[in-house]
Structure 1
Amino acid sequence: MKIETKYHGEIELNEKDVWHFEKGIPGFEDEKEFTVLSFNGNEVFYVLQSVSTPTLGFIISNPFSFFKEYQINLDDAVTHALDLVKIEDSMVYVILTVREPFNQSTANLQAPLVFNVKNKKAKQIILNDYSRKQPVAAAEAKE
């Protein structure tokens, strides 16, 4: 299928590349299908692109690549909702708020996105121990 995207223009997308958010993302409950797109030459930042809304694309990143102390515990409700049997079958990303200059950008560590790589189910969860606006200046130095 062809979709229009926020950052990549029109692309060809295979069904196997679609992630299913059963209840959407908080604030975007009607958006149930997304794909993760990479930027050429960049292995740190990605786009969580809505399959149905071209203008809806979130910049995301693996939080563990620049927040070494970050930890999440998935409770039974989350593992059940995602049909997640082994933690090794999951990926975690966080949504970034990108600002100019980049060192003023922040990561939402309070609401990570958890993906089950086996069945393509995904969910945004809420953690009370972290900030919604954690500076990501450390990630800039890593690039």
Structure 2
Amino acid sequence: MIIETLSMGRLEVNEEQLYHFPKGIPGFEEETDFALIGLEETPFWVLQSLKEQELSFLLADPFNFYPGYEFELPDEEAEELQIQSEVIIRSMITLKGEIEQSTINLLAPLVFNPNERTGKQIVIHSGPYHTKHILLQEQPEIDGKDGG
């Protein structure tokens, strides 16, 4: 399937990349169908609306940035998504002008069932998480110098 995106142009996506969000995403309830697109050689994904090319979200695997991140998926959420075993967790990224100020939302992760191709953004009601954790806690070497 070919989809139109604002930032990446025309893309071909396969069925395994398509997810249905029965209730949409908070603030975008009318948008229910998305493609989950991995950005090669980066720890990021784009969640692209199939209907609105202007609507996409930058996502990351929260465990890559916060290895101690954990939460319990409520039974009703697992039932709604028909999760048996496999699950994919991603968090929304908010990019800032200075990359060091970019944040990751650990309070409301996106939960994907890759078997049923369904997804939902959930809100964690207990725990230390909020919507704006600093994405890069330690600054990586950008210029390729390793000091040696």
Contact map agreement 1:6 1:49 (CA 8 A) in 2: no
Partner of 1:13: 13
Shift of residue 140, structure 1, vs aligned partner: 5.4
The amino acid of 1:60's aligned partner reads: L
Q: What is the number of equivalent residue pairs in this alignment?
A: 140
Shift of residue 46, structure 1, vs aligned partner: 1.2
Whole-Å separation in 1 of the counterparts to 2:87 and 2:135: 23
Contact map agreement 2:46 2:59 (CA 8 A) in 1: yes
Matches within 5 A, 1:1-143: 1-42=1-42, 44-86=43-85, 89-128=86-125, 129=127, 130-138=129-137, 141=140
Larger Rg: 2
Shift of residue 15, structure 1, vs aligned partner: 3.3
Distance 1:75 1:55, change over 3 A: same
Q: Percent identity?
A: 36
| 3-state DSSP of counterpart to 1:55 | coil
| 3-state DSSP of counterpart to 2:137 | helix
Structure 1 stretches of 5 or more lacking a match?
none
Off by >3 Å, runs of 4+ in structure 1: none
The Cα RMSD (Å) is 1.7
Distance 1:71 1:14, change over 3 A: same
Shift of residue 6, structure 1, vs aligned partner: 2.7
* TM-score normalised by structure 2 residue count: 0.88
Shift of residue 39, structure 1, vs aligned partner: 2.2
Structure 2 stretches of 5 or more lacking a match?
143-148
Contact map agreement 2:25 2:31 (CA 8 A) in 1: yes
Contact map agreement 2:16 2:114 (CA 8 A) in 1: no
Shift of residue 107, structure 1, vs aligned partner: 0.6
Whole-Å separation in 1 of the counterparts to 2:136 and 2:5: 27
Q: Which has the higher strand share?
A: 1
Shift of residue 41, structure 1, vs aligned partner: 2.6
